[in-house]
Structure 1
Amino acid sequence: MAAAWVPLQPWLRAARPAWLLGGVAALLALGALLGAWRWGGSGRRRRQRLQRVGTVLSLFVYPVKSCRGLAVRRARVTPLGLQSGELRDRFWLVTKEDGHMVTARQEPRLVLVSVGSENGHLTLEAPDMKKVCVPVSLPRKNPVRNCRVFGLDIQGRDCGDEVAQWITSFLNSEPYRLVHFEPTMMPRKSKDIMNVFRTTDEVAYPDCSPVLIISEASLEDLNTRMEKKVKMENFRPNILVTDTGAFEEDTWEEILIGDVELKGTVCCARCILTTVDPDTGVLDRKEPLETLKSYRLCDPSERHLYKASPLFGRYFAIDKTGTIQVGDPVYKLVK
């Protein structure tokens, strides 16, 4: 026999909204608690507490090493760094004809070259120069060149005579070439550059690590000490973080942004490239480097890593790929 339907008593009907609201509140609290304790990093079957330490303010991709960066709202984080559409971070490189890299250290006016993407092409623009376009997917007939980046061998497919002549003409230099790192090529091992990296950490043409993070507060702290303020463009980060303290990024060992997990490696030891004015392409050789040296040198125990270079920003390796975007919260793992 079917169970008889019994109407709710008046007192129970009156109480129902209170217990429903209480149940919803409990579920929300449980969800927040689970969110604060989630961390699935790289096959680690454990829960760790996450602490919010900042917010992504800006994202930058630098397709051609030493040329202007491209601000993007959203980026894929691959094992070799940030990618926006067909443009990947530091996958193009200017070289001498013998394959040795050329950066703004040698040719400061490279920072005046703007980079973009149109219809499957990399585009380059510069003052008093016509825009030049290079296919992202180069013809197989283009030769693969052996290159040298910070003393290590790496390949790159030559982008052709037109763009080579364009770069040479703009810089008024000896003949230079542009090469493209293709995904089938062998990346450089970060551990061969600095021993603190893991054997799995790799890069194409970046200095040593696929992601550089700097906080807005760190730049503000530096500028309180500067007679002439500098821009974040002097330091070329991939991820700019706000809502955090000055140089807090130095302490982040494992962080989560979106669904991406990053592992802190070393701080960024700064060189004369930071003294190139991003608006004029003029190399100063002094500031902001001298001011940084007055208060941002490493601990003596770490001099074997950084020598006499001041530190500004922190490098991160990729533990889990995914997507990040402006506005994402930044969490650090609390052990």
Structure 2
Amino acid sequence: MPSLSGLYRYPLKSGRGEALQRSAVDGLGLHGDRRWMLVDADNGRFITQRLLPQMSQLSARYDARGGLTLSAPGRADLAVALPDPEQDLRGVIVWRDSLRVPDAGEEAAQWLSDLLGKACRLVQVPEERARQVDTAYAQPGDRVAFADGFPLLLIGQASLDDLSQRVGQPLSMLRFRPNLVVTGSEPYAEDGWKRIRIGEVEFEVAKGCSRCILTTIDPQTGERDAQREPLATLKTYREREGDVFFGQNLLPRGVGELQLGMTVEVLE
């Protein structure tokens, strides 16, 4: 029987991940996941490792009150309080979505701009201001915070093991930034799942996750792979209609608590 072997949260979009033993699931996925984001100070467009690979070295630890502690090599940590959800609203753009969300203030903006060498702002999304998930794959009312398109991403450990063997070197799961890792299933078994249950929480499998250049960035060093691996290998056997797929996007169909070791029940 498959089981939950990995739980990861990314408090800041494109920042370092946090490995968790347990996590609550709310309407936006794992509690605290990608509720914060960097945007260009001039135009409000979201910033990720695609533009600034050095963001892989930026840690943003989530605290119990919803704030962050920012840290990076050679820098003093900075505590950032959860901003007022109705004050200092800033217009931001995530792919095709435009929304207004609270700005975290000048101190955080300066700390991050100095670190990254680019004028940026730190913003946070309250649940009531979250984006609608694409209704081609979801229901009206399904929401996502600052993740690219869906609240949760699941990858089977056997799928990564198979890819690592094809590439010829062990690959870190964090290259692919999943929330949930499942052990005990066949490689790519998750491609055929439609509904699963972990603990008391059910999830709908919405669609495969199309992968981009971000997978070629080593999460430990922030360096891009000169051979464009593992994307180059994925293209040889996981490409369809011009996109390369690895992992499955999920929608939560309830709230509850997840814990490592829980059984993953395939319902459909």
TM-score > 0.5 by shorter chain? yes
Distance 1:127 1:107 in 2: 16
Instruction: Report the equivalent of 2:131.
Output: 188
Distance 2:212 2:85 in 1: 37
Alignment of 1:175-254 (within 5 A): 175-185=119-129, 187-191=130-134, 195-254=136-195
> Closer, same or farther in 2 for the Cα pair 1:206/1:117, shift >3 Å?
closer
Residue among 310, 315, 324 paired with 2:258? 324
Note if 1:263 corresponds to 2:214: no
Instruction: Report the equivalent of 1:89.
Output: 33
**Alignment-mate amino acid for residue 122 of structure 1:** L
Distance 2:211 2:143 in 1: 21
Residue among 96, 99, 104 paired with 2:49? 104
Residue among 145, 160, 163 paired with 2:105? 160
Q: Normalising by the residue count of structure 1, what TM-score does the alignment of the two structures yield?
A: 0.76
Structure number with higher helix proportion: 1
SS of structure 1 residue aligned to 2:191:
helix
SS of structure 2 residue aligned to 1:328:
coil
**Alignment-mate amino acid for residue 94 of structure 2:** V
Contact 1:142 1:160 in 2 (8 A): no
**Alignment-mate amino acid for residue 168 of structure 1:** S
- Measured against aligned partners, the alpha-carbon deviations of 1:94-114 in whole angstroms (never above 9, x if no partner) come to 000121000111111111111
Distance 2:212 2:13 in 1: 15
Instruction: Report the equivalent of 1:29.
Output: none
Instruction: Report the equivalent of 1:70.
Output: 18
Structure 1 residue 139, shift from structure 2 partner: 4.4
Instruction: Report the equivalent of 1:296.
Output: 238
Moved over 6 A (4+): none
| Structure having the higher Rg | 1
> Closer, same or farther in 2 for the Cα pair 1:210/1:147, shift >3 Å?
same
Instruction: Report the equivalent of 1:278.
Output: 219
**Alignment-mate amino acid for residue 128 of structure 1:** G
SS of structure 2 residue aligned to 1:224:
helix
Alignment size in residue pairs: 265
Instruction: Report the equivalent of 1:123.
Output: 69
Contact 2:85 2:101 in 1 (8 A): no
> Closer, same or farther in 2 for the Cα pair 1:155/1:233, shift >3 Å?
same
Tell me: higher relative CO, structure 1 or 2? Use CA pairs within 8 A at least 6 residues apart. Answer: 2
Contact 2:85 2:126 in 1 (8 A): no
SS of structure 1 residue aligned to 2:11:
coil
Structure 2, unaligned runs of 5 or more: none
- Measured against aligned partners, the alpha-carbon deviations of 1:96-139 in whole angstroms (never above 9, x if no partner) come to 01210001111111111112145744101111111111012x24
Instruction: Report the equivalent of 2:117.
Output: 172
Instruction: Report the equivalent of 2:81.
Output: 135
